[in-house]
Every structure is written in C-alpha cells, then in structure tokens.
Structure 1
Amino acid sequence: MNEHYKVSEADQAKRIDKLLSDVIQDASRSQIQLWLKEKHVHVNGDVVKSNYKVQEGDKISWTIPEVKPLELKAEDIELDVIFEDSDVIVVNKPSGMVVHPAAGHEEGTLVNALLYHCNDLSGINGVERPGIVHRIDKDTSGLLMVAKNDKAHESLVQQLVDKTVERKYVAIVHGTIAHEYGTIDAPIGRDPKDRQRMAVVDNGRDAVTHFQVLEHFKDYSYVECKLETGRTHQIRVHMRYINHPLAGDPKYGPRKTLELDGQALHAKSLGFTHPTTGEWKSFEVAPPEEFTQTLEYLRNKS
C-alpha cells in the first residue's frame, strides 16, 4: 500500500522517523526506522536515513511492507515452573527474557520456551502470543500466569478486567519516600514527546498503583507495589511521576543510578481464582540474586 505526505511549515526540521510516527498512527517509531533502513520510505524520490530533517514542501512516500508471519519455534530453554496443571502454568521469568516474539526478538523468549515445554497453549492471542494473558517487561523478573486452553484464557483475562487478580511487586527506587503508604491514581498513555515511552497524560487509561515502603536507605527506598490495573510500564511510570524512579531503569530513571542490568523490579506474588476448580491460588517467589545483593549493598552503605 502506497501512502504520501507533504511536509508543512509546522513540520519543518523534524526528524523523519519522528514525523512519520505521528503521521502513521499504527506504526511505532522503531518500526518506521526499520522501514527507512529497508528503503520503503522516500523523500522526493530519494532514500533517506532516520535522522533526516524534513523541509517544508518535501514529498514523503512510503510503502507499508507485507507483514511476514512469525514462525515460532520451540526452544529448549530452562523454565522455572512454579505451578502447572491442565489449565494454567505459573512461571518465574528471569530478568532479561522477553515474554513473546516480536521484531528483533524472534527467539529466546518465554513463548519459545513454553512451546518446547508443552504444546497445549491457548490460541486466543494468536500465533505470536500463545497462552499469554499478561506481560512483564524484559528486565523485570518474577511471576507470570499462562493459559493452556481458551477457556482458562478467557477466565484469567476476565479476572484481570474485574481487578480480582492480586499482583505484588518489589522495587528499589531513588530517594527517600516520606510516606509509609500511598496510592498513585494517574492515567497512563503514550508519551506525546517520545512514542517509545509511556507517561502520565490527561487522556490516558486509568492506572492505579498502591505502594508500601519496606525499608529506607540513604538516597533509596525499598518498596512493595500492588497493581490495581496493568498498564504498560505502570510501576515504572508511576514511580517516576512521584519523583522516585526505579533504580537501574534505562528508560524512566536518571543516568546516575545503581549498576544493574535493567530496572530493580520483581513480580514477587501472584494470586488468582483457578479457571476450573474455582480455588484461590497464590504464589510467591524471592527476587533474583542481583536484586538481593543490591539490597544488601544499600543496607551496608546506610
């Protein structure tokens, strides 16, 4: 499909990847950068790079390439399975593992590992995300529930909608939080200044995070966060919003931070009603070694 756009005076000197991410509503900036690299975008008939600054009157044309279907392959990757029956699997995802395949992450994901572990995952989310009911970020560790059939999937999703799933996280954040308890009720949506990030915005989706301070350190706090909603990057965005961003967070935190491989965030507990038996199931796992070592470092330093 061929599309065209003529650059106006208001667009003058904008980067082409930024401009097109605003113009093409369904495409992310990284997707557009890939199109530019693969020469699907032309300015006045010429190929340009992502950092090209557009000029008034430029004629931009692009062809949206056909999406190549992902061929998911089962991979023998070790899984930390906390619970499993014919309906549900609960896994403890390690930090650094992507949940499902996407452009740039076709292999080595939790889904690839699950396909090797079992061949009966729900198909509601399509070929690319079999069984995936909810997600946690690549560098966030901890508990995730996966549906093994469509009936279980529908039940678990409805519980998320009804806010009856209990999800608690622990995090290390910058600064000393003055209050022992708090609730952040602030809508989250795409950051208008950077489409790669989320932010608290007026027209965002409802987002509520409850937190409790577990320990105070010099310049840092150890907190437990309970999710009422499950927006993308919710805890990371909300803690930044109250000026206590997560330690080690490359996207929402300060540059001067603790030396960590990603944000200090761990999904420690998960509770839900079993889709078939109706029994309340709850699970808890301790944070990974890097996280606990960082806590010890802060305790000794304080």
Structure 2
Amino acid sequence: MFTKENQKWNKFVISIDEDCKLKDFLIDEMSFSIRSISRMKREKNIFINGKVSKPTAEVKKGDILEIVLNEDGSQFIPQNLGVRCLYNDEDLLIFDKPPFMVVHPTKSHRESTLANHVSYFIDTLDEKFKIRFVNRLDMNTSGIVIVAKNAYAHHKLSKDMETNDISKNYLAIVEGVIEKDRDTIDLPIYRETEDSITRVVDSRGQRAITHYEVLERYKNHTLVKLKIDTGRTHQIRVHLSSISKGIVGDELYGVVDEDLIGRQALHACKIEFNQPRSCDRILVESELPEDFIQLIDKLKYL
C-alpha cells in the first residue's frame, strides 16, 4: 500500500489497491478521525495523483494518494532527562525508560516524566506531533516504551497487540527457586473495586497469559525471562505472585528488601513488531540497568 519513497512522520504516500471512497479509506484503513479529515480538507492537504482533492472523492486502483498532516503537538513541558532513544523512524520512537520515572504526567508527577523528555526529544528532531504511547510501564519498571508519531502507527500497533503480533519480553528476579525450567501461567486477572490499585487472580477477570523460562537459579531466588501474550495491568507481577514467586522489591505483590534493590526487579528487555508502513520485522532490545546488574551480582554470593 505504501510507496517506498517520500514517507515522513506527517506525510503518507499510498498506492491505492482497490476502488473506494476516499473518506472511507481515511477512516477505516488509516484510522484518521473526522476532525483530522476536516482539517486536511480545510488546509488542502489531500492529493490524488498530484491534485488537491476532497474527502468525498472516489479513488481508483493505482491512484497515488498523498496525505500531509499538520498536527498540534502535546502540551508537555520539554525536559532533557537523559533518556536513551533506542529506535527512530517515520512512525515510531522507542525509549529506554529508567526505573523511578513515570511515563505520563499525573497530578503528583507533573514534570520529570518520560512524556516531558519525549517532548524535548521531538524538538531536537524539528518534528511536531502529538505524543501517543503505544505501551506503558509502571514507574518502577524499567525498559522499552514505544511512542507513535501519528494516529495510523498508533492504531496499527495497538491492533497488532490485540492479535498478538507483537512479541514483548521481560526479565525479572523472583523470591524463591522455581523448579520448572519453563511453563505458562494462564490465569484471569481481576480488579475487585473501581478504586483498587491491586489486581487479583479471579475467574471473573480477563484472560491473561504469561510464559516464563528460568535463566538462572540462585540460593533463594530465580532469574526468569517472560513473554506475555496479553497486556493486563500488573500482569507479570500478579501471575508470578500467584505461583508464590513474587518479584523482588515489589511493594504490592512481592517482598521488599532494599538491601538488594530499591524497586521491583522487572525490566522490559525486548520487543519485536512489524513496522506500521513497510511491515518489516523490527527487533529492539534494552540492556539491563545498573541496579538490576548489581542485584544479580549480590545474589550470586548470598
């Protein structure tokens, strides 16, 4: 569908595969809102075969559709927080979130969030787009966070997550020694009340699937690699707790020992996905942060 040339974060060049109404294509295939389409029309930023067109036009197979987006950026305070960018293309940014950093500003964390750093980073690119997080991590979980540069990329990756076309891998250190080398935890996760922070395993909940593999066993702890097929809130933390192997440092579901580590020992280490436009398979990895490495060193000598 997309041509190889002239693609930008705010510019789509598409070879139409079949006859259709342009407005239907923009909504169904590109996931643009009615408001966005109205703005494109008003600013005359829709072109068919090089000529300005309206959303009411008909497009034919083989037509070249060009769309230019003029989007207002997010209103976060730009802050250079030193967060490493792992990947950057016309549709996506991927960052290596450190522990103790909130992804999105809240009433109690208005600044020094990942969103503040992303705003700063966007300014250095001389690009302008709304920040759309494709995934999020808890404040004390480190690792990979994806940002979409446009509505199409966000819609495409969100859909791929629903169909399990995105592979998400984590590393965790848990209390106790896991005997099985590998296993799958397939247990529903439920929120008991609307204001509850914690989640529980309960038959009333949504299905959640976590695969784990033991990488290393210590005297009283285990290093595990995890892959999740679903993305429920606190999924890995709840599932490991359900087999009596809570994550080290997890205040809600595990055992806190600040002599070992000052936060939950959970790191989003790898993600594999299809690039939204080209469909090329992309693999991005994040190295273990220093506190996680230090924890492993401590456990080897306990």
Query: Could you tell me which residue of structure 1 aligns to residue 170 of structure 2?
Result: 169
What are the within-5 Å matches in structure 2 for residues 95-174 of structure 1? 95-118=99-122, 123=130, 130-174=131-175
Structure 1 residues without counterparts, runs of 5 or longer:
1-69, 124-129
- The superposition leaves residues 41-99 of structure 1 with CA deviations (integer Å, 9 ceiling, x where unpaired) of xxxxxxxxxxxxxxxxxxxxxxxxxxxxx963222222200110121011111011101
Give, in whole Å, the separation in 1 of the partners of 2:172 and 2:247: 7
- The superposition leaves residues 258-292 of structure 1 with CA deviations (integer Å, 9 ceiling, x where unpaired) of 53121000111011000011100001122101101
Give, in whole Å, the separation in 2 of the partners of 1:257 and 1:173: 14
**Letter of the structure 2 residue corresponding to residue 146 of structure 1:** V
Matched, 1:93 2:97: yes
Q: TM-score, normalised by structure 1?
A: 0.71
Residue 84 of structure 1: which of 60, 84, 88 is its match?
88
Q: What fraction of aligned residue pairs are identical, expressed as a percent? A: 35
Give the drift of 1:191.
3.9
What are the within-5 Å matches in structure 2 for residues 1-302 of structure 1? 72-118=76-122, 123=130, 130-192=131-193, 195-255=196-256, 259-301=260-302
Give, in whole Å, the separation in 2 of the partners of 1:139 and 1:189: 22
CA contact (8 A) 1:122 1:150 kept: no
Give, in whole Å, the separation in 2 of the partners of 1:283 and 1:71: 28
CA contact (8 A) 1:211 1:223 kept: yes
**Letter of the structure 2 residue corresponding to residue 84 of structure 1:** N
SS at match of 2:199: strand
Aligned length, in residue pairs:
226
Q: After alignment, is 255-264 or 107-116 more displaced?
A: 255-264
**Letter of the structure 1 residue corresponding to residue 99 of structure 2:** S
Distance 1:157 1:290, change over 3 A: same
Distance 1:194 1:72, change over 3 A: closer
SS at match of 2:282: strand
Give, in whole Å, the separation in 1 of the partners of 2:263 and 2:270: 20
CA contact (8 A) 2:103 2:113 kept: yes
CA contact (8 A) 2:248 2:256 kept: no
- The superposition leaves residues 237-265 of structure 1 with CA deviations (integer Å, 9 ceiling, x where unpaired) of 10001100000111111345753121000
CA RMSD across the alignment:
1.9
- The superposition leaves residues 176-234 of structure 1 with CA deviations (integer Å, 9 ceiling, x where unpaired) of 11100010011112145981211112211111000000011111100001011111111
CA contact (8 A) 1:183 1:209 kept: yes
CA contact (8 A) 1:211 1:225 kept: yes
Structure 2 residues without counterparts, runs of 5 or longer:
1-73
Q: TM-score, normalised by structure 2?
A: 0.71
